[in-house]
């Protein structure tokens, strides 16, 4: 079930307030003023207040990211092309995310935690939910799950610590970087089980 109009307004306002003030300084009153929604409504929609609200915003942002990622990977029948496309689109989306850039600048500790230790299990879970249907026709499900985790770790690592030699946002560079791994990780064409 999608978000209601008041939930969307509150989450949009929360995002805007975080960009303006930084997460640590945002108050429920700031969000009320920005959204035009009362405190009582916010607490009814997000029982638990700020922490629940910030968590709902993280979940929404993550789902929106993977919606874009899967749409960008549409139309690839070859598993190698699909994997390269997923890595390139994910990298480009992370780089183009102005909200993420602002949060990294104002709240680096919290954002790094959400991209690594604290948020990583959720990222892997959501990535698996979104990407398994794309990879399942090409790969063994257990193998596909491991590959998804490897790809997520690779993209996040190169996003947080860019390389002078590898640009995962460039298809040619990403393919050259991934080629040795793809040769080892993906079954040879005769071994693939397409459904």
pLDDT tens readout for residues 73-99 = 877 878 899 999 999 999 999 999 988
How confident is the prediction for the chain on average, in pLDDT?
Answer: 88
Whole-angstrom distance, CA of residue 150 vs CA of residue 153? 5
Contact call for residues 119 and 58 (beta carbons, < 8 A) = yes
Distance of CA 124 to the CA centre of its chain: 9
Q: What is the pTM of this model?
A: 0.83
Burial of 155 (0-12, 13-18, 19+ CB in 10 A): buried
Other beta carbons within 10 angstroms of residue 74's beta carbon come to 9
Q: Report the greatest alpha carbon distance in the chain.
A: 61
User: What string of DSSP letters covers 6-31?
Assistant: HHHHHHHHHHHHHHHH-GGG--HHHH
Whole-angstrom distance, CA of residue 35 vs CA of residue 139? 45
Q: Which residue has the tokens 């990294």?
A: 104
pLDDT at 17 (0 to 100): 92
Helix axes 50-72, 120-135, angle to 10 degrees: 30
User: Which region among 5-19, 118-132, 171-185 has the lowest average model confidence (pLDDT)?
Assistant: 171-185
Q: Which of the pair, 183 or 24, is modelled with greater confidence?
A: 24
């Amino acid at each position: 079930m999608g978000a209601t109009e008041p939930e969307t307004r509150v989450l949009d306002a929360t995002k805007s307030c975080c960009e303006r003030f930084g997460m640590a300084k945002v108050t429920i009153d700031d969000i009320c003023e920005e959204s035009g929604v009362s405190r009582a409504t916010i607490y009814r929609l997000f029982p638990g207040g700020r922490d629940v609200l910030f968590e709902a915003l993280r979940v929404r942002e993550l789902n929106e990211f993977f919606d874009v990622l899967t749409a960008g990977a549409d139309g690839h029948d070859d598993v190698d092309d699909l994997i390269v496309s997923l890595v390139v689109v994910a990298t480009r989306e992370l780089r183009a995310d102005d909200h993420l850039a602002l949060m990294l600048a104002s709240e680096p500790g919290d954002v790094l935690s959400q991209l690594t230790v604290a948020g990583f299990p959720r990222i892997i879970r959501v990535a698996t939910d979104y990407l398994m249907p794309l990879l399942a026709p090409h790969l063994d499900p257990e193998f596909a799950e491991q590959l998804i985790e490897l790809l997520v770790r690779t993209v996040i690592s190169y996003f947080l610590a860019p390389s002078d030699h590898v640009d995962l946002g460039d298809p040619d560079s990403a393919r050259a970087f991934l080629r040795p791994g793809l040769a080892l990780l993906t079954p040879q064409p005769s071994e693939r089980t397409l459904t």
